[in-house]
Amino acid sequence: MTDRRKDRPLDGYEVVLAVTGGIACYKSADLASKLVQAGAGATVAMTAAAARFVQPLTFQAITERQVYTSMWARTEDFRTEHIALTDLADLLIVAPATANVIGKFAAGIADDLVSALALSAGTACPILLAPAMNSRMWSAPAVRANIKLLKDWGFHFVGPEEGRLACGTTGPGRMSQPADILAAAKAILLKKPPRKGK
């Protein structure tokens, strides 16, 4: 393995990072940076709620790529975003994965860009979810059932961790640290060569 490969183990891999509206999405900027530093091509898609926490410009500056926020727009080559963005993706990461978006994935709802991406990526590439929510939401029967269903369908999960939550309580529900999400992404990606064949 060359030194460059050690420093940039994800060279040639394409990752779509989907960011949803939870306070943990500030960590997603760090995750995007870590993906780029590892050599991955990182394209960011955001829900409208996520853009209330972190501006798309932040991700654009980190990835040096267009950030996608609407499924009604088109990519630069005029293809429909929720299909085009997963065409060459080796992995779709959803971080944070809120209870809301997990429920949408489990129900097959595709009413925003991120949920549409997950539905279109289903057979195109693996999906890694990094849940983040209040402990009571994490323990709710509906959320537990949705997570079991998604795991049965082959979705990958990292976290959540235990710790202090945004509401001030302590318990499970903290989004995993970006370094841990990156490690989980590497474990999935490095099992096979990039789809683009670089």
Report residue 124 as tokens: 């195109």
Please say whether the beta carbons of 66 and 60 come within 8 A.
yes
So what's the pLDDT on residue 1?
A: 45
Q: Which of 57, 107, 167, 183 is catalytic?
A: 167
Q: Is residue 196 part of a domain?
A: no
Domain count, the chain: 1
Rounded average pLDDT over 20-31: 92
Residue 84 resides in a domain: yes
Domain membership flag for residue 62 = yes
Task: Dump pLDDT digits (tens) for 142-185.
Answer: 999 999 999 999 999 998 877 666 666 776 778 999 999 999 99
Cis check: omega of the bond before 96, within 30 degrees of 0: yes
In a domain, 194, yes or no: no
Unique residue bearing structure tokens 């990072």: 17
pTM to 2 decimal places: 0.89
Question: Predicted confidence band at 72 (pLDDT cuts at 50, 70, 90)?
Answer: low
Q: For residue 198, what pLDDT band results from cuts at 50, 70 and 90?
A: very low
Confidence of residue 54 (pLDDT cuts 50, 70, 90): very high
Query: What pLDDT does 52 receive?
Result: 92
198 belongs to a structural domain? no
* The pLDDT of residue 22: 86
Judge whether residue 188 has pLDDT over 80: yes
CATH code for the domain of 184: 3.40.50.1950
The two beta strands, 161-164 and 170-174, are antiparallel
Q: Quick check: is 13 in a domain?
A: yes
Q: 78's torsion region: left (phi>0), alpha (psi -120 to 50) or beta?
A: left
CA separation for the pair 88, 130 (Å, rounded) = 22
- Residue 93 CA to its chain's centroid (Å): 2
Examine residue 160 and say whether the peptide bond preceding it is cis (omega within 30 degrees of 0). yes
DSSP state letters, the chain: --HHHHH-TTTT-EEEEEE-SSTTHHHHHHHHHHHHHTT-EEEEEE-TTHHHHS-HHHHHHHHSS--B--TTSB-TTS-BHHHHHHHS-SEEEEEEE-HHHHHHHHHT---SHHHHHHHHHTTTS-EEEEE---HHHHHSHHHHHHHHHHHHTT-EE--PEEEE-TTS-EEEEEPPPHHHHHHHHHHHHTTS--TT--
20 domain residue, yes or no: yes
Highest mean pLDDT among 32-36, 80-84, 136-140: 32-36
Q: Would you call 167 a catalytic residue per the annotation?
A: yes
pLDDT on residue 84: 76
Provide the pLDDT for residue 124: 82
Mean pLDDT of 180-198: 86
Nearest to 100, CA basis, from 115, 85, 86: 115
**Residue 9 belongs to domain spanning:** 3-189
Model confidence band, residue 50 (pLDDT cutoffs 50, 70, 90): very high
Query: Which residues does 191 contact at the CB level (< 8 Å), separation at least 6?
Result: none
Average confidence (pLDDT) over 79-100: 84
